[in-house]
Chain A
Amino acid sequence: GAGVSQSPSNKVTEKGKDVELRCDPISGHTALYWYRQSLGQGLEFLIYFQGNSAPDKSGLPSDRFSAERTGGSVSTLTIQRTQQEDSAVYLCASSWGQGRSYGYTFGSGTRLTVV
């Protein structure tokens, strides 16, 4: 696609439920990143994919968070047993990766609200 697409754009869920957030990167971009942005805060790194593998998942806050990427394209971030502190905007970005431009292209994010 022309840009990074994220769905849903908004998600309200009850505490304790599981949620899945989807990211569809720019076609051909091998690198994919998930970040979290809490209200008034900067961007907190969660996980990085190169192809289908995740060489850096150091930012995942707990074992309730997991992510996968299939076919070197779409990625899904899953949060199990959601807590109120998980409320944030979850941003996905993609880039060409090694040997090409380093610049990220971000999606518009998924605003997650846990009630």
Chain B
Amino acid sequence: GENVEQHPSTLSVQEGDSAVIKCTYSDSASNYFPWYKQELGKGPQLIIDIRSNVGEKKDQRIAVTLNKTAKHFSLHITETQPEDSAVYFCAASTGANSKLTFGKGITLSVRP
């Protein structure tokens, strides 16, 4: 089955700097790659996703890039703010009728 790995487990950046979080996946059939943000005491919230037919997608300060050949995808957050501090999960699936396989998450801390 699919295996999604996320490294490192923690990341600390200065407010205003950029943050990049990387994930790798194992199943070449995976074609959908979402990113979730989880704040303390809440469920994960979808922040951006990408499908395998595109290489990059942007939404204001966040972007996701996908390299299908290398089987890795990354989340880019620019101009980080303290409210970006949270746990971020990447995930992968092979389509609408299959489950998402999640990475273990990365704790992002944005220092004021």
- Complex alpha-carbon distance, A42 and B100, angstroms: 12
B41 touches A43 (CB 8 A): no
A62 within 8 A of B: no
B97 contacts the other chain (CB 8 A): yes
| Stretch among B42-50, B55-63, B65-73, B74-82 lining the A interface | B42-50
Chain B contributes a number of interface residues (CB within 8 A of A) equal to 24
Q: Can you name the residue of chain A whose Cβ is closest to the Cβ of B104?
A: A42
| A108-B34 in contact (CB<8A) | no
Choose one: B36, B41, B99, B105; the contact of A48 (CB below 8 Å). Answer: B99
Contact A41 B101 (CB under 8 A): no
CB-contact partner of B34 in A41, A55, A103, under 8 A: A103
The number of chain A residues with a CB under 8 A from chain B is 29
B96: interface (CB < 8 Å): yes
Task: Name the segment of A12-20, A71-79, A80-88, A93-101 touching the other chain.
Answer: A93-101
Look across to chain B and name the residue whose beta carbon is closest to the beta carbon of A93: B43
Residues in chain B near residue A33, CB distance under 8 A: 99-100
Collect the chain B residues with CB atoms within 8 Å of residue A104's CB. Answer: 34, 44, 46, 100
Q: Name A residues whose Cβ lies closer than 8 Å to a Cβ of B.
A: 4, 31, 33, 35, 41-43, 45, 48, 50, 55-56, 59, 91, 93, 95-100, 102-109
Jot down 24 A-B pairs with beta carbons below 8 A, ordered by A: A31-B96, A31-B97, A33-B99, A33-B100, A35-B102, A41-B104, A42-B89, A42-B102, A42-B103, A42-B104, A43-B44, A55-B97, A56-B98, A91-B43, A93-B43, A97-B96, A97-B97, A100-B96, A103-B46, A103-B49, A105-B46, A106-B44, A107-B43, A108-B41
